[in-house]
Amino acid sequence: MREIAQGTRQETNLTTGSKRLLVILDGTGTLRDPVSQLEGPALISRIQTSTAGVTVVPSADASMLIIEETVKSPQKQDIKDLLVAGFVTRDGRLFATWGLSAEYSATPPLLKLDGEWLSGIARSSGLVDKLPASEKPLLYLMLMNEIGEIVGLEQLRGPQIPAVESELVHTSVIRSGSRGAEPVPIAFVVEVEVE
């Protein structure tokens, strides 16, 4: 649900009821309120006096460097509740998402994954034999840097199976994730079937 409030576009989270200010990040690194057209110090001042969180929506022509640098500026100005549409933050670093959000378009990495092998490892652990349907398939969030190195793994669903996690972390990467022609850090979901 979107509504206009005080000349600034807001989005209401239907689950929590919290409001978020939506601002656009253009290709030059300028943050702009699409309704009032405020930008720069005037926009930052408006954001600082608001109780709403802020969601930055990067335009298609904003490079990863511009997105990262621009997001650091409001954080330096003590704006805490800041999200970037289509990205997750881990250890202070932005990762473009793929398979997590329809708001942002990144090209997924190409991995040399053998799903049957991973499924076999999971089944042989004995930890998935009696999993309820709500816990299947196993889900993992993988984090890859822009040069194609797996730099993080988070279990999203299912039991912890160290042998599967080890295989995922050591997966061969054929091509890193990208946004257009630019390689970018990326977060993506991997499913391991255990039927």
* Domain containing residue 78: 2-85
43 and 118 both lie in a single domain: no
Q: How far apart are CA 40 and CA 168, in angstroms?
A: 43
6 and 80 both lie in a single domain: yes
Residue 119 forms part of a structural domain: yes
- Are residues 185 and 144 in contact, defined by beta-carbon separation less than 8 angstroms? yes
61 and 128 both lie in a single domain: no
Residue 18 forms part of a structural domain: yes
Residue 194 has pLDDT above 70, yes or no: yes
For tokens 């473009």, the residue is 96
* pLDDT band, very low/low/confident/very high, at 119 (cuts 50, 70, 90): very high
118 and 66 both lie in a single domain: no
* pLDDT band, very low/low/confident/very high, at 7 (cuts 50, 70, 90): very low
Residue 101 forms part of a structural domain: no
Residue 187 forms part of a structural domain: yes
What's the whole-model pTM score?
A: 0.77
DSSP run (H or E) holding 143: strand 138-144
Strand bridging mode 93-98 / 186-192 = parallel
The number of domains in the chain is: 2
Residue 61 has pLDDT above 80, yes or no: yes
